[in-house]
Amino acid sequence: MNTSLKRFIVKILTLSAAIVLVGWLAFSLFIPQYYLSVFPYALVFFLIVAIAVHTYQLKLAKKDIGKFTRSTMLVTFFKLIVYSVFAVVYIANDPENALVFVIALFFLYLVFSFVEVSEITRISKRKDT
């Protein structure tokens, strides 16, 4: 395992631990009525997808930076499709909690996307120079 991947995994696991801590505080102290049992599974799902996609992108960047650049948009599109399917399946099974679920999913998407994009940008800039 290369250093970039190790660094990303440590960063994303630390971020996930922080999300768990903040979520636990928020849902146990302030808004317990909005807690859904799917939240931990959603976090693990985002974690697995982020690590898998980052691993794939690192391999592409190492082989051919041109191919990496072309495939980034396609990878992002497929991630959105996977996340959308996850959301639709959950909402179809539990429509009364759809709003809370969508807000949590959106939060996870933003946080994980920010970390993924910042890491992959750092790596691609390093490859260009």
Write down the pLDDT at residue 129. 46
Contacts 24+ apart (CB under 8 A), 103-107: 104/36, 104/39, 104/42, 105/42
CA–CA distance, 101 with 95 (Å, rounded to integer):
9
* Mean pLDDT of the 7-28 span: 95
Number of Cβ within a 10 Å radius of residue 9? 16
pLDDT band at 128 (very low <50, low <70, confident <90, very high): low
The range of the structural domain enclosing residue 59 comes to: 3-128
Output the pTM of the full model.
0.88
- As for how many domains the chain has, the answer is 1
Q: Are 45 and 111 in contact (CB under 8 A)?
A: no
Q: pLDDT tens digits for 53-104? A: 999 988 888 887 777 777 888 998 999 999 999 999 999 999 999 999 999 9
Segment 24-48, tens digit of pLDDT:
999 999 999 999 999 999 999 999 9
